[in-house]
Amino acid sequence: MSETASDIRRRVRRLIDANQLLSDAIRRDILALGAAAVPPLLEILQDEALALPESSGDGWAPVHAAELLAELRTAEAIGPMLRVLARTDPMDILCDQVRQSLPKIGATVIEPALRAAKGAHSELQDSLAAVLARIGSRDERIFEILLDQLRRDPTYAGNLAIYGDPRAVPYLLEALDKHEIIDNGNPLANHDLIELRAAIEELGGTLTAEQQRKCQGGRKQGEAALRAMRVSFEAKRHDRATAEPVRRRDPIGRNDPCWCGSGKKYKKCHLASDENRSSS
């Protein structure tokens, strides 16, 4: 006797209570359903309430759904995944999983992704560039998108390296030459140089002696800034240890700015270390 759609939906929705770790047994069982699993997986993927940290499964159900849809290589998932990219924060785990999942579906993603990129906001354009670079297909439109991204933000030089076209080397070298060493106390201020150099070398390019000195100068500035930040952080932590923690009276939410002033969300910064310290 064949299973009903209701039975299949019930089996797939076990994802909702899976939390961060999805068991191999549930993964195999859902994948064995094949195309029948797609509708309930799409339902989970697009349920914004299930992506919230306070939801059942701590927000991991849509992440697992995106991963399984990629393994099923279903073209039906392309449109919904692109919509998820458009509405999620690039720092969210779900957004990152969709960026990883879409390229696995294959070349059928290219045309919808190119259409979505037209007139998109910069964060969505960056996510789509990452997707297109990883599909593994040569397309001049993709190459131009990646070059435009490089011109806007050299931090994304790695996408050109992943795309793998050596024609990008002169553009990468030009971006490296334009970069001026920044000494503002931020250890990531010259991270562009690291990304540019890695991309150039991966694509078979070489740096002049002057370009190598520039990269070394940027690295040294970053190391010095990081040492200074560590000294400052240790001093602040010592001060906090002698005072009543404000966070106990006014808890920080997972998506609030971290108390350390990094500008990152609390869940992306000190949440894990704070939890470890409180449980010890």
Tens of pLDDT, residues 158-199: 999 999 999 999 999 999 999 999 888 888 888 999 999 999
Mean pLDDT lowest for which of 27-31, 77-81, 233-237? Answer: 233-237
CA 215 vs. chain centroid, Å, equals 25
Q: What is the DSSP letter of 257?
A: B
pLDDT confidence band for 249 (50 / 70 / 90): very low
Least confident of 122-136, 149-163, 228-242: 228-242
Q: How many CB atoms lie within 10 A of CB 260?
A: 15
Asked whether the beta carbons of 160 and 130 are under 8 A apart, the reply is no
pLDDT band at 37 (very low <50, low <70, confident <90, very high): very high
How much is the pLDDT for 276? Answer: 63
245, pLDDT greater than 70: no
pLDDT of residue 234: 74
Write the single-letter amino acid at 75.
Answer: A
182 conformational bin, left if phi > 0, alpha if psi -120 to 50, beta if neither: beta
Kindly report whether the global pTM for this prediction surpasses the value 0.85. no
In the prediction, which pLDDT does 257 show? 73
User: CA nearest 165: which of 136, 191, 127?
Assistant: 136
| Helix%, strand%, coil% for the chain, nearest 5 | 70, 0, 30
- Percentage of the chain modeled with pLDDT above 70: 85
Structure-block tokens of residue 127: 């996510």
Structure token digits, residue 78: 């392309």
- Distance, CA of 81 to CA of 67 (rounded, Å): 11
Q: Which DSSP category does 227 fall into?
A: H
Residues 6+ apart with CB under 8 A from 277: none
pLDDT over 90 percentage in the chain: 70
CA gap 105, 102 in Å, rounded: 5
172: Cβ contacts below 8 Å, ≥ 6 apart? 150, 157, 160, 196, 199, 200, 203, 205
The label of the residue with tokens 């999942």 reads: 101
pLDDT of 255 > 50? The answer is: yes
Pairwise pLDDT comparison (198 vs 237), residue with the higher score? 198
